[in-house]
């Protein structure tokens, strides 16, 4: 059938559909390869060269979470008796949240075939956030807010780096990031104007 001259100059739908199918074609060799190498568990060829780098990012995040657990615990126990027991108690809630994040990260590292690094000798060097033994309540809040902001920035960058290379890890980091943002919001509310 002859097209009118006003018709857009595009390929017929059937050819477009074929081209789309070609662009969205699955990697059959990868699917075949997934049937072997069974000891790799959840790690299939899709991870390609990224698996080890993702594990390294997760291990640095694991170290950061543990330093945050230690800092919040220190602040919880030393802030008891200071002006605000409610804030001291909230430090413990945050410590427990960070421990939960550490567990999630460790589980994912193992699922990716890696080894979670809990070595206490190197925890603080590998952590993005710092430990703090300050004794005054406002200084504690400030130190924790700085650490939360470092965690938020780190996790945001990790999400951008991982993208669609590992959707499961990305969703895990997104869930942690949401809690770090909640922590930071709370701390900022308690921070007295400088
Ligand atoms: Fe955390
Ligand atoms: Fe946090």
Q: What is the pLDDT of residues 45-102, one digit of tens each?
A: 887 789 999 999 999 999 999 999 999 999 999 997 767 889 999 999 999 999 999 9
CA distance linking residue 73 with residue 67, whole number of Å: 10
Distance from Cα 101 to the centre of ligand 1, integer Å: 5
Structure tokens that stand for 139 in this block: 């200084």
Distance from Cα 132 to the centre of ligand 1, integer Å: 16
Contact 87, 79 (CB under 8 A): yes
Distance from Cα 12 to the centre of ligand 1, integer Å: 53
Q: What is the pTM of this model?
A: 0.84
Mean of pLDDT values over 174-190: 97
Q: Single out the residue of 145, 135, 147 nearest to residue 75, CA to CA.
A: 135
List CB contacts of 56: < 8 A, sequence separation 6 or more.
none
User: What CATH number should be reported for the domain whose range is 53-190?
Assistant: 1.20.1260.10
Distance from Cα 31 to the centre of ligand 1, integer Å: 35
% of the chain at pLDDT higher than 70: 87
List CB contacts of 181: < 8 A, sequence separation 6 or more.
152
Distance from Cα 98 to the centre of ligand 1, integer Å: 4
């Amino acid at each position: 059938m002859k097209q009118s001259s006003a018709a857009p100059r595009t390929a017929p739908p059937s050819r477009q559909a074929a081209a789309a199918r070609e662009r969205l074609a699955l990697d059959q060799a990868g699917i075949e390869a997934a049937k072997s190498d069974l000891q790799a568990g959840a790690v299939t060829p899709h991870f390609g060269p990224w698996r080890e780098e993702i594990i390294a990012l997760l291990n640095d995040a694991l170290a950061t979470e543990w330093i945050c657990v230690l800092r919040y615990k220190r602040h919880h126990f030393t802030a008891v008796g200071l002006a605000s027991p409610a804030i001291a108690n909230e430090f413990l809630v945050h410590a427990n949240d960070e421990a939960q994040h550490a567990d999630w990260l460790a589980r994912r590292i193992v699922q990716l075939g890696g080894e979670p690094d809990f070595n206490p000798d190197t925890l603080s060097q590998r952590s993005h956030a710092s430990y703090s033994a300050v004794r005054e309540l406002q200084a504690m809040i400030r130190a924790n807010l700085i650490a939360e902001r470092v965690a938020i920035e780190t996790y945001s960058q990790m999400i951008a780096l991982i993208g669609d290379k590992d959707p499961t890890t990305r969703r895990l980091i997104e869930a942690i990031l949401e809690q770090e943002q909640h922590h930071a919001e709370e701390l900022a509310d308690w921070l007295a104007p400088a």
